[in-house]
Each structure stands twice: as structure tokens, then as C-alpha cells.
Amino acid sequence: MSSCDPVDLSNCDREPIHIPGSIQPHGAMLVCNRAGDRLLYASRNTADITGYEGDLIHGTVISDILGQQAAHDLRNAAAKASRPGAAGVVLGIVFPGVSGSLDATIHRHDDKTFIEIEPCVDDGRSARNALDLTRELIQRISLEQDLDAMARAGARLARAMLGYDRVMVYRFLHNGAGRVIAEAKAPHLGSFMGQHFPASDIPAQARRLYLVNPIRMISDAGYEPIPLAPPLNAGEKPVDMSFAQLRSVSPIHCEYLRNMGVAASLSISIIVDGQLWGLIACHHDSPKVTPMPLRIAAELFGHYFSLQIGAAERRASMLAAADARAQLDAIVSGLSVEGAIIERLAEHLPAFARLIECNGVALWMDNIWYGLGATPDREYARDLVHAARGEERRAIWATQEIRASFPLPDTGIAGVLAIPLSLTFDDYLFFFRNEEAHTVKWAGEPSKTPDKDGRLTPRGSFETWREDVKGRSMPWTAADLSVAEAVRTYLRDVILKQNELSAEERARTEQRRRILNDELNHRVKNIISLVKSIALQTGAAAATVSDYTASLEGRLLALANAHDQSLGGGGGGSIASLIDTEANFHRHEGSPERITISGPGVLLDNRAFGVLSLVIHEMITNAAKYGALSTPGGQLAISWRLKDDGDLELNWSESGGPPVATPKRVGFGTRLIRSSIEYDLRGTADLSFPPSGLVARFVIPAAHIEVGEPSPVEAVHTPSVKGSLEGLSILVVEDQGLIAMDAEETLRKLGAGDVRLAATIGEAEKVLDGFNPDIAVLDFNLGADTSETVADTLLERGIPLVFMTGYSDTLNIPERFRGIPMVRKPVNPESIAKQILHVLSGGSEIIGAE
């Protein structure tokens, strides 16, 4: 707006109050060139104040106006002035033609020199003893440590020093409004204590001037401004009086003071850490000029008072932070070293809630929300994080009115304090405060009201006006923010240390992974070599292709079973379970006792278990083809014992079969048995061929033996489930095509009628739309997915099922499926037939699951 525009409350926040073009009448002003020796402008009352009788025109020599001595003293004072806000002062100047003495200040600003002159005033308050008064005030204020007590003492001491009817300590709030926190007044005046004043009472440009000009006096709110002369020419830059003490006052502000019943005022800025913290506001009900020495003393007192206020706030913050650090030390020392960092921090949410006064506290890390007390639902957590991050990334964010900027439902929560815990991730610790519905006492209704002419004017009444405030919490204090900073520092250190440990653990895990891969690679190569050898030797010994296929399949299944058993825990397995698994394939319902197994509980290590798996398979397959198990009446007895030296002795005895004779040549099976025991295990293998049946004795060195089973095994046997799958309809869900085809062929060989294949969950669901199988065989792991959905559908429809898996354990099977039988790949026909018939017969326990 232009300096010529009329001013009212509609535009007072844009009023250029630093260029009023006039001064207050209790002094005179000379505006000179930068050197300070030539006149540019002079207030029209200069002659009255200084007694100068000449023409005050542009270029007049300043020493002609003030006299040589006064001009000299002022030039020296100007040389001492370090900045515009710290003007040079000359007290008790005697001007020619002036009866009394004058006080003057000088400062430079905007390439001009400003000289302000006032008559010396003796107000009866010992202006000349201002220094002693200042020292006394400083000593007394130093006795106070508490901020409220300091404010009360400041108001009392300032009133005693300056003699105003009312002195208030006025503090600016977070929203720009102000509140009277201390007051000293004459008995006949009403009180403004505790009342609020809206931010519009002191607009932004006025606050800026309070920062650069820390003391401001209005001697008479009803004064007539004294203009500068000569008037500005068109286009000439107005004179910037920002640092001038005599600068004229906005007419709106004078009207405001008069409406309050104030005739004179003095304001002392309270500046803490470069910010306008508040004001010491002095009011008088009649015109009053405070002598310059007292104003200088009051300015010094204001500086010291500001320092004390800042120190008190910092002391409170330091005490709060120290207490918080003590509690944080206890929290950090109590953090477990086990588990995820968020779970460990979440355990201490009650302790965090004690650090800062709040109604709830929550932790957001790794997209997980932990809350305690009054906290928003998890669905709002991510939006809260975005709101906190959006204010100032990685800075602590505080608000007492969250719904003003965030669409949080009205749950009673109003205040949010968000502490970022990471420099790179959206991890936050939140503190929440409930709404604190309260009544604010205003010094008059704060809204703007028009007068009868429609002009917006300052309120005419300052009687207490109450406003109910909702939707806000108690504000977060500087001490709260100091504690928040301490929390952030501590927890970032904790998380950083955790990340360092995690990095170390990842390195160790990677090392273990490499070792495991190397071991797996070694094992795979050994298995491939063994399979190759078995295939070649089996082919050399087989008479027909069908013989070759059957022998190779049997040997590979034995090898697969040994591999599964060896991965089932400690790396080996039970000799009893190894032998019983092979024996179950050759028991008949009519003679379940034809194979007897007995011996103590013994565990074999990984190497011995693999070797014996092949050996037992060769031995029992040979017995089924040519020996005791090839006739209905044949018997096989297998027993073992631990010798005194710790070696394991395994005895094999066949009887009741065809007559036996010593073979004329050593076949692959015999070579496999002897080389495996003697070469791989450094044991012994003795086979003899009496006519009554094959007898064998194997000794396994003690190095491969552990005594670990809880009880010995006597005559171990499991009834066979020999039967047919004739006519059954079966659904097979398997994502590997060759394995699916193999399973289909196996089931059809076992007599199944309608076998349908599905490779994915979607395909299985389509098949089941028009198909109601008698039973289903599901590969549990379907690539990156599982067949859980299909299993649930089948169980809902009452269709029994069997799982297939290539894994060595069932840890990845959900608890609800743990009762469902499991067969492992590669699938043995007898094994899957046994499981299917068992399930269809209504069996609930798992039998023969490998």
C-alpha cells in the first residue's frame, strides 16, 4: 500500500509504519547525509527544540544548527555506535539560545545520519541515577530461577523503576497471539493478568521493528504528528525511520491505546535467541515522557531480562533432557539383544510414555504399528508418517491441532509429536495428546468490528471476553522438544548399532551360505557320480530292459530315502527305521511275521546311513527275487548288536526259500555291498551261501555309530496295506510336468481309473468345477506358491488328500494340515498306494510317512 492510503484494520497489517514521514512531538529530528554534516530533512519543530533561528533548508551545515561543540560531541558518539539499533548518546547538551539542556542520540541507517534531540526531563525518579537503578534491578532479577517468578519480579521492578501505572510481561504464543503472564499495576486499575491478545494486535511489521529497536516510547497517544520538511518530491524515496526513537506511531495503534484507556506507553522487547519472545509493556493513564537516561537503563534491563528468560528456558530444557537421558539410559540398557529392533523398542513403550507428558505413544517401523494408550488406528499410521515427513524431512514435527492439517477422525486426539528415528527410512516414534477443551480469556472480543461509517476499527472494549476452544491439545513446550531431540539421538544410535550388528550377521550368514553351497555342490557331485555308477553297473548286470528299469528304480529310491533320512535332523538316522522302511514293501497280509527285525536303539551318521540304505535295499531286493522272500513260506531275520569295542554288528539270515548255492560269478549287487561297507566305511562284509539260505554279517566301525534312540527295537513290523486303487478317481496337482506324468503313470499302474492333472491353483480349481475325485494328491510347493487354497477347497468338500513334497521336513506345512499324510519325492508306488488306501479307509494318523 502507499503511505498516502488511509489506514484501518482492513490493511493495518500492510501499513508501512517504518516510513511515517513524521515524528512524535516530544523531540526533534534532523536527517543528514551519511557524513552527518549537511541537512537533508528536519522536523518542523526543530527550531522550537534547538532554538535555531535560521532557515532549515537542504544542505544547511549541521554545526550551524547545533553549534560546534554539540556537533563535535555527536560525531564522536556516532563513531562509537556499532549498529543502527545501538545509537550513540550525548546527554546534557547545551545549545545556544536554549535555556535548558538537551539529550541527543545519533545513528546511521539507509545511507543517512539521524540526529534525535529531546529536552532533558526531570520526572522526579532520579533519572541521573539510572545506572544505579539498573544495577539494583539486575541484582534482584538474578535471585529468581523459575520463569514465572522471574516474570512477576520483572513486572514489579520495571514499574518501580519507570513509574508507569501498569507494567505487564506479555508472552507471544505459538499461534502469534499473546498472553499476559505477569502484571504489576496501580490499585485502581482492572487486571489483564492471564488474558490473551490476538496476533492482529501486533502485526508482523511491528514485530520486526520490536526486534531491531528494542525500546519504544509513546509519550502521548493523542498527539499530533510533526512532519519532516521539506515534503518529499514525486518519486523521492521515503525516509526509513526503523531505528528512530521519535518515529511517529500508526494512528490505528494510537486509537487502540486510547480505547484501552492508555495515554502513554513504553515497550521493552524480550528477545531470546534472536526471536521476539515477548514484551515488557508499560501503560500510563496520562501523557508521560520517560527521560532518555531511564530509557537507556530500561533497555539494558530488557537485555539482561531476556538473557535470564533464555537461561531459565534452557535450564528447564536441560533438566528435562537430563532426566530423559537418565531414563533413556535405563531403557537402552534394558533392551534385549535378541529379536527384531521394533519388537524390543515396542516392549519399552510404557517407559517412552513417561518421558514426555502424553496420553498415548506409538512406534512405526518396517511398516509395523505398535501403539499404547490413546493412539490413532493403524490405518492412519502411514498418512501420519507422510504428514510428519512433509513438514520438514527428518525434523521433529509437533502440532497441537492435528485435524487442522490432517483428516484424522474426532477420536479425542489433538496433539502429535513425531520423532524421526532414521535418516533413510520412515521410522517414527509418535507421542499423542488428547484435546484439552478450555476457555481462553481475551482482552475484549478479538474480531474486527466496523464503526458506524463502515470503517474497521480497533475494539472499543477490553473487558474480559471468553472463548471456548476445542480441537487443540496442550502445546508442546521447548522442554518437550528438547526431550524429543534426546530421544531421537539415543534411538538413532541404538538403531545404527543394530544395523551394524545386522550387517555383521548378514556377513556371517553369507559366509555360512557359501560354505553350505560348497557342501551342497560337493554332495550333489557325489550323488551324481553314484547315480552314474549305479546306472552303468545295473545296465551291465541286467538281462532285459524291464529288469534294468526295475533295478535302477529300486536303487535310486533307496538312495533318495537315505538322502531324506540323512537330512532329517542331525545328518544321519535310525537303523531300525531304515530297515523297517525297506521291509514294509515285502510284507504280506497273510504272513506279517515273515520278516523280523530286532536290535538296540542305534543311530548311524550320514555316511553310514547312506551306505546301509543301498546295502539293505540290495539285500532285500535279492531276497525277494531269488531268496527267502521269493516263496510264501520264506523267512528273513535281521538283527544287530553293539560289540564291546563299540562297532555295530548286523546279522542277516534267510530261511525257507529256494536252495542256495555259491554264485559262479560276483554280480554288481554283491560288489556294491562289499565295496560300500569295506571301502566307504572301512568295515567288513561277509556273505555265505549255505543251501538253507543266504547268511551275511556286516560290521560298521564305531566311528559311524551313536547310541541315541530311547528304546531298543524288537521284532519291528508294520502291517502292509496291500490293495488295489482299482476304479479310483484321483486329482494330481504338480507343477513339474515330468513328475506329474510319472505320478499319473504310477497311479494308473496301481489301478486308478480317472487321473487328472493340474499344474497351478487356477487349473486345479477349473478341474474341480466339474470333477469330484475320490482323493487328491497335491504337491505342497507349487513354484513360488503353495497348494493351500486347493487343500482348503478339498477339505470343505469332504475330499481326502495326500501331500507330496521334495523337502526333507514339514516345517513349512501350516498347523491345520499337519494331520494329512505326506509322501516324499521321488514317489515309491507302494508308499503312495499305502497312504491313499490308509486315508480312504478312514485312518486319521499318518502311517509310514517318510
Higher-confidence residue of 844 and 698: namely: 698
| Mean of pLDDT values over 175-195 | 90
Q: Is 708 helix (H, G, I), strand (E, B) or coil?
A: coil
Backbone angles phi, psi at 822, to 5 degrees: -135, 130
State the DSSP H helix or E strand holding residue 333, giving kind and residue range, or none if neither.
helix 292-333
With contact defined as beta carbons under 8 Å apart, do 385 and 447 qualify? no
Least confident of 29-38, 171-180, 240-249: 171-180
Higher-confidence residue of 816 and 441: namely: 816
Please report how the helices 292-333 and 147-162 are oriented relative to each other, as an axis angle in degrees rounded to 10: 180
Other CB atoms within a 10 A radius of the CB of residue 286 amount to 9
Least confident of 405-409, 515-519, 658-662: 515-519
Torsional sign, CA 718, 719, 725, 731: negative
- pLDDT one-digit tens code per residue, 727-736: 899 999 988 8
pLDDT at 256: 87
pLDDT band at 496 (very low <50, low <70, confident <90, very high): confident
- pLDDT one-digit tens code per residue, 780-806: 888 778 889 999 999 999 999 998 887
pLDDT at 714: 47
Least confident of 34-43, 442-451, 685-694: 442-451
What DSSP state is assigned to residue 817?
G
pLDDT band at 437 (very low <50, low <70, confident <90, very high): low
What lies within 8 Å, CB to CB, of 186 at 6+ separation is 165, 166
Please report how the helices 575-584 and 606-625 are oriented relative to each other, as an axis angle in degrees rounded to 10: 30
Angle 658-688-618 from CA coordinates, rounded to 5°: 75
pLDDT band at 621 (very low <50, low <70, confident <90, very high): confident
| Mean of pLDDT values over 486-512 | 72
pLDDT at 465: 46
Task: Provide, rounded to the nearest whole percent, the portion of the chain with pLDDT above 90.
Answer: 34
- pLDDT one-digit tens code per residue, 592-618: 578 899 999 899 887 888 788 888 888
Least confident of 148-162, 443-457, 740-754, 831-845: 443-457
Which three cell numbers mark 593? 511275521
Q: Which option is the CATH number for 334-435+470-502: 3.30.450.270, 3.30.2010.10, 3.10.20.30, 3.40.1190.20? A: 3.30.450.270
pLDDT at 654: 93
- pLDDT one-digit tens code per residue, 256-267: 899 889 999 999
| Mean of pLDDT values over 694-706 | 92
Domains 126-221+262-315 and 334-435+470-502 share a fold: yes
pLDDT at 287: 96
pLDDT band at 43 (very low <50, low <70, confident <90, very high): very high
CATH number given to 126-221+262-315: 3.30.450.40
- pLDDT above 60 (res 639): yes
How much is the mean pLDDT over the chain?
81
pLDDT at 829: 73
| Mean of pLDDT values over 804-827 | 74
pLDDT at 124: 56
Is cis: bond before 230, omega within 30 of 0?
yes
- pLDDT above 70 (res 435): yes
| Mean of pLDDT values over 403-416 | 81
pLDDT band at 507 (very low <50, low <70, confident <90, very high): low
| Mean of pLDDT values over 624-645 | 89
Higher-confidence residue of 609 and 497: namely: 609
- pLDDT one-digit tens code per residue, 361-400: 999 988 889 999 999 888 888 888 888 877 555 688 898 8
pLDDT at 289: 94
Least confident of 40-49, 708-717, 738-747: 708-717
From the list 651, 658, 638, 649, the residue with the least C-alpha distance to 593 is: 638
Q: Which residues pair with 733 in a beta bridge?
A: 758, 778
In whole angstroms, give the CA distance from residue 848 to residue 743.
Answer: 19
pLDDT band at 706 (very low <50, low <70, confident <90, very high): confident
Give the domain ranges of the chain: 14-119, 126-221+262-315, 334-435+470-502, 542-714, 729-840
Q: Is 172 helix (H, G, I), strand (E, B) or coil?
A: strand
Least confident of 39-48, 496-505, 651-660, 712-721: 712-721
With contact defined as beta carbons under 8 Å apart, do 422 and 492 qualify? yes
- Report the Cα–Cα distance between both ends of the chain, in Å, rounded: 91
From the list 652, 661, 559, the residue with the least C-alpha distance to 614 is: 559
- pLDDT above 50 (res 3): no
State the DSSP H helix or E strand holding residue 182, giving kind and residue range, or none if neither.
strand 178-185
CATH number given to 14-119: 3.30.450.20
User: What topology does CATH give the domain 729-840?
Assistant: Rossmann fold (3.40.50)
Task: Provide, rounded to the nearest whole percent, the portion of the chain with pLDDT above 70.
Answer: 78
In whole angstroms, give the CA distance from residue 412 to residue 417.
Answer: 15
In whole angstroms, give the CA distance from residue 233 to residue 587.
Answer: 124
- pLDDT one-digit tens code per residue, 544-593: 766 667 666 666 666 666 555 555 444 567 898 888 877 876 665 445 57
Other CB atoms within a 10 A radius of the CB of residue 329 amount to 11
- Tell me which amino acid residue 12 is: C
With contact defined as beta carbons under 8 Å apart, do 846 and 813 qualify? no
- pLDDT one-digit tens code per residue, 118-162: 998 875 555 557 777 788 888 888 888 888 999 999 999 999 889
pLDDT at 768: 92
pLDDT at 182: 95
User: What topology does CATH give the domain 542-714?
Assistant: Heat Shock Protein 90 (3.30.565)
From the list 262, 243, 244, the residue with the least C-alpha distance to 253 is: 262
Highest mean predicted confidence (pLDDT) among 8-22, 306-320, 788-802 = 788-802
